[in-house]
């Protein structure tokens, strides 16, 4: 076990049983013309974390940790997209509509791809998920358990939507979760800080958080 300085108290990292989860580092959320942009968000906020997420992925590769990349995506016929999700709000483009990077949040479209700087390598797990949480309607739990994984490091976007939902789902399934603070971002600065605070409050009620430098220092 390796002690990682973290909030609200040190995280006891088990390097033999930890996986890195990189949530939805997709063009659809990070580049202009994607789903995040269509919802009215300033996507440039998310671009700032790309180097940190890439460095975290490098660290995981160096240590041979299991790496899972997720994509929020739907089948081309949208049979896995409930109308309640597709029709929500008054965005000019909805899930499945054609934008400048192809159909929004649809598998195989250019905009649905993970950005080049964080792209999966052969052997890494890629999960297409129709929901915000990574366990809903996926086989990720079985894949993690097959690898003997008990701890998850979280990164990606957005902090209070897909990252928080996935971390809560993981916590309920018995995983110990450490969120890498500077490897996650929200379209709303105050939502990121609120999410970090509520996840780690009450004695790590959902999990821990720490900046990448503290994880790097602990495993160096």
Q: Which residues bind ligand TIU (CB under 6 A)?
A: 24, 29, 36, 39, 72, 132, 157-158, 161-162, 187
Residue in 81, 118, 162, 177 annotated catalytic: 162
Separation CA 185–CA 157 (nearest Å): 6
129 carries an active-site annotation: yes
Q: Which is nearer to ligand TIU, 89 or 122 (CB)?
A: 89
- Residue 9: count other Cβ atoms within 10 Å of its Cβ: 12
Q: Which is nearer to ligand TIU, 152 or 161 (CB)?
A: 161
C-alpha 98 chain-centroid distance: 24
132 carries an active-site annotation: no
**By the 8 A CB rule, do 176 and 151 touch?**
yes
118 carries an active-site annotation: no
Closest CA to 137 of 74, 66, 67: 74
Q: Which is nearer to ligand TIU, 160 or 182 (CB)?
A: 160
Residue in 129, 132, 192, 214 annotated catalytic: 129
The distance of closest approach from Cβ of residue 130 to ligand TIU in the complex, given in angstroms and rounded to an integer, is 12
Separation CA 96–CA 177 (nearest Å): 33
**3 Rama class: left (phi>0) / alpha (psi -120 to 50) / beta:** beta
The distance of closest approach from Cβ of residue 59 to ligand TIU in the complex, given in angstroms and rounded to an integer, is 22
Which residues are identified as catalytic? 24, 129, 162
């Amino acid at each position: 076990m390796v002690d990682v300085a973290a909030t609200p108290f040190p995280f006891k990292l088990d390097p033999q049983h930890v996986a890195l989860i990189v949530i939805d580092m997709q063009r659809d959320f990070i580049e202009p013309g994607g789903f995040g942009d269509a919802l009215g968000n300033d996507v440039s906020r998310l671009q700032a974390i790309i180097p940190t997420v890439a460095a975290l992925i490098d660290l995981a590769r160096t240590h041979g940790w299991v790496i899972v990349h997720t994509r929020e995506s739907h089948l081309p016929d949208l049979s896995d997209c409930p109308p309640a999700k597709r029709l929500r709000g008054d965005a000019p483009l909805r899930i499945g509509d054609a934008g400048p990077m192809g159909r929004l949040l649809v598998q195989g479209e250019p905009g649905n791809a993970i950005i080049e700087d964080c792209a999966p390598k052969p052997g890494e797990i890629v999960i297409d998920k129709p929901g915000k949480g990574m366990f809903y309607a996926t086989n990720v739990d079985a894949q993690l358990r097959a690898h003997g994984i008990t701890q998850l490091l979280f990164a990606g976007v957005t902090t209070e939507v897909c990252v928080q939902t996935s971390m809560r789902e993981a916590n309920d399934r018995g995983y110990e979760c450490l969120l890498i603070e500077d490897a996650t971002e929200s379209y709303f600065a105050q939502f990121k800080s609120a999410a970090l605070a509520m996840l780690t409050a009450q004695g790590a009620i959902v999990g821990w958080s720490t900046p990448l430098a503290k994880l790097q220092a602990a495993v160096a």
